[in-house]
Amino acid sequence: MSDVPLDREQVLDKLEQLADVEHALIVEYLTVSCALGHDLSAEEGGATSDEGRQAAGAAMGLAQGEMFHLKDICGALVDAGRTPLVGRASSIADATGVLLTLDPPSAAQLRHVIGREKAIAGAVDAAYAGLAPALTPEVFDEPLLARLRNVVEFGAAHGEGSTRLRDALGEPPPADFLRVPRRETDNPFEQALLRTSDLAYRLVTSALREQFAQPDVFGFRSLAFTAMDALDSSNRALAHRGLLPAFTL
C-alpha cells in the first residue's frame, strides 16, 4: 500500500464506495434480523430464547445505524459537489486483500454469523480509517472538513456493532438460533410476498436517492419512511413463513 495521502477526489471516490458498502450492510443486518426471527413470537416462528430475541433486535438496531451512516456520507458528498447514487456493494477487501462477499447471506453463511459480521466490520472500519490521514485543512476547507471527520469517526466503529450482536446472541449461539434459513420457494403466495418485499425495497432506494440528492424536498423523506414501513411489514410476513427477503436489485 502507498504511504502517499489521498487527494480530495480520491477521498470522495472512496466515500462513494463506502456509501455502497453501507447500503449493503443495511441489507446484511436486515437479513440477519429476519433470520433470527424478526420480532415474531416463538409460536409465529420467531426466536425461542431471550438471547435470540435480543440478537434479532440488535441486528435491527444495527441496520438502522447503517442508515444513519449512509445518510451522513451522502450529505457530505452533496456538500462536496457530488451526487449520491445509492448503489450497493457486492464485496469489500479485508486487510490481506481477500474479498468478503456483501451479497445477502445464505443459510450457510448465517450459521457462522458472528465470524462473518466480525470480519466484515473489520474490513469496513479499516476502509474508513484509511481516509483519516487525508482529512486535513490542506485538502478540505471548513465546514466540509469537520463533517468528513465526523463521518470517518462514526464510520470506523462497526466492530462495536458486531460485538453487540455477538454479546446478545452468545458465542457459541443457541443451537436453534437460525429461525428463518430458507431462500427458495415454489409456493405462489410466498413468491408474491417476495415480489412485494422487493417492490418496497426498490421504492426505499429510489426515495432515498432523491432525498439525498435533494435534501430540502420533504416529500421524498416522507415517501422513504412510508416505504421502509412497507418493507418491514413485508419482511415480517416472509419471516412468519420461514422465508428470507431477497433484496433484489
- Please check whether residue 12 is in contact with residue 77, taking contact to mean a CB–CB distance below 8 angstroms: yes
CA angle, corner 37, sides to 203 and 197, nearest 5? 20
- Given a cut of 50, whether residue 75 has pLDDT beyond it is yes
pTM of the model: 0.94
Residue 61 burial (10 A CB sphere; 0-12, 13-18, 19+): middle
- pLDDT tens sequence across 195-234: 999 999 999 999 888 888 776 666 677 888 899 999 999 9
Residue in the structure block whose three cell numbers are 417492490: 199
| Domains of the chain, residue spans | 8-180
- Given a cut of 60, whether residue 2 has pLDDT beyond it is no
Instruction: Check residue 77 and give its pLDDT.
Output: 95
> Mean pLDDT across the stretch 82-89?
89
* Grid cell in block for residue 210: 432523491
Confidence of residue 1 (pLDDT cuts 50, 70, 90): very low
Q: Which CATH number fits domain 8-180: 3.30.460.20, 3.40.50.300, 1.20.1260.10, 3.40.50.10130?
A: 1.20.1260.10
Distance CA 27, CA 59 (A): 11
Instruction: Check residue 101 and give its pLDDT.
Output: 97
Instruction: Check residue 131 and give its pLDDT.
Output: 96
Q: What's the whole-number average pLDDT of the chain?
A: 93
DSSP per-residue codes, 14-69: HHHHHHHHHHHHHHHHHHHHHHTTTT--GGGT--SSHHHHHHHHHHHHHHHHHHHH
> Mean pLDDT across the stretch 61-78?
94
